[in-house]
Amino acid sequence: MEAQDIFDLTVSIGVHPNVMVYNTLMDGYCLVHKMKKALKVFDAMVSVGIEPNVVTYSTLVNGYCKIGRINEGLSLFTEMLHKGIKPSAISYDIILRGLFQAGRIVSAVEMFHEMTKSGI
């Protein structure tokens, strides 16, 4: 039985997962580069009224950065900011690594300055 099957089973018997359970499932999909499935979990979480947190966004940003899709990662990072969710040092580390790996040094330096302005 896979993690998604267990998740679906628990929901079917009336157990309501919290944000940590959703984040864990998303992280599993991100680790095996299944971003479409991770985003489906994200959408499902939001549809039942559970608010994403900094870990949720950082997990997805990391997944995109690991597969070289930095623009998608940046888009989620920006969405997190627009929703008023404050990035952590880990969030900035993830996005900075992604930018450096993509060869976007100027953007990485700009992001670093944003990070230090925010007090991190």
Which tens digit of pLDDT belongs to each residue from 28-87? 999 999 999 999 999 999 998 999 999 999 999 999 999 999 999 999 999 999 999 999
Tokens standing for residue 113: 């300055």
The per-residue pLDDT for 3 is: 60
The per-residue pLDDT for 10 is: 66
H-only helix segments in the chain: 3-12, 19-31, 35-47, 54-66, 70-82, 89-101, 105-117
Architecture category of domain 3-117 in CATH: Alpha Horseshoe (1.25)
The per-residue pLDDT for 105 is: 96
Instruction: Note the pTM of the prediction, 2 decimals.
Output: 0.88
- pLDDT at 88 > cutoff 80: yes
